[in-house]
Amino acid sequence: MKKLLSTSVFVFLLVSQSFAWGQLGHYLIGYMADKQLKKSVRKKVEKVLYPMSIARSGTWMDDIKSDHAYDYAYTWHYMTSRNGEYDESIQEKGGNIFAEINRIKNELKAGNLEPQKEAEMLKMLIHLVEDIHQPLHVGTGEDKGGNDVKVQYFGKSTNLHAVWDSGMLDGKSMSYTEIGDELSRRIDKKTISKYRSGTMQDWLAEAVAARPAIYTLPENNKLSYAYGYENSQLLEERLIAASVRLAQILEDIYG
């Protein structure tokens, strides 16, 4: 029984560390994107996703990781880019986040999908657009997107990827609506124009540009207030960018 319990705990930790943004981050991005949508687009998107909200839909693709029927999508959450390029030859054979965003977006735009299929594909697209803006989901190919970088965060053993997924955000002890309302105050016309004008290739370049700050760690790899403070602006900028681009994509499909 003890061995079984230990195995279950290990599997839980392994799966939980591969999540992106954590539930708070996904809710937050979806909530901010929802606030930016045109009414007509929001109505169409909500009809497809019902009874889920746009904010809630962002966590669905992590929820289904426990369902083996969706094992085919395991590698879709991330990709490898050494210098900001998209190189198909170094990606996972099962698919990757860059290719799947493009494919799903095009299939949704083409239409003629069964309602359940459309809903699932839309929830996947929302999640993946959010994921790709967590910089460590565009990995170097050397440390599993920071999962192999073991750190202590406020005295608790974890890894660098988990700190960016949820550690810094959860540490704010605020709801997704509280954080979302605050960050949304910064989304003006200039900000929207800046992020909407970027291509997906630019998204990869942004992730690579964030690496020096993300990987600047103390020698003992013990992180606390200083690391969160130094990376707070980068974290918030990534969340804002994800929300603007998610709203743009939803309007492109359902506008």
Place of tokens 């964030």: 210
- Distance between CA atoms of 28 and 182, rounded to whole angstroms? 11
* pLDDT on residue 21: 84
> What CATH topology corresponds to 21-254?
P1 Nuclease (1.10.575)
Quick check: 5 pLDDT over 60? no
pLDDT in tens, 50-72: 999 999 999 999 999 999 999 99
CA angle at 163 for the pair 159 and 166, rounded to the nearest 5°: 130
Q: Give domain limits for the chain.
A: 21-254
Q: Which of 20-29, 162-171, 196-205 shows the lowest mean pLDDT across its residues?
A: 20-29
Distance of CA 87 to the CA centre of its chain: 21
- Distance between CA atoms of 217 and 143, rounded to whole angstroms? 15
Question: What is the dihedral angle through the alpha carbons of 127, 132, 134, 137, rounded to the nearest 10 degrees?
Answer: 110
Place of tokens 């279950």: 8
pLDDT-derived band at 22 (thresholds 50, 70, 90) equals: confident
Pairwise pLDDT comparison (41 vs 1), residue with the higher score: 41
pLDDT-derived band at 182 (thresholds 50, 70, 90) equals: very high
* pLDDT on residue 7: 35
Distance of CA 124 to the CA centre of its chain: 11
Place of tokens 């880019």: 81
Average pLDDT for residues 174-194, to the nearest whole number?
97
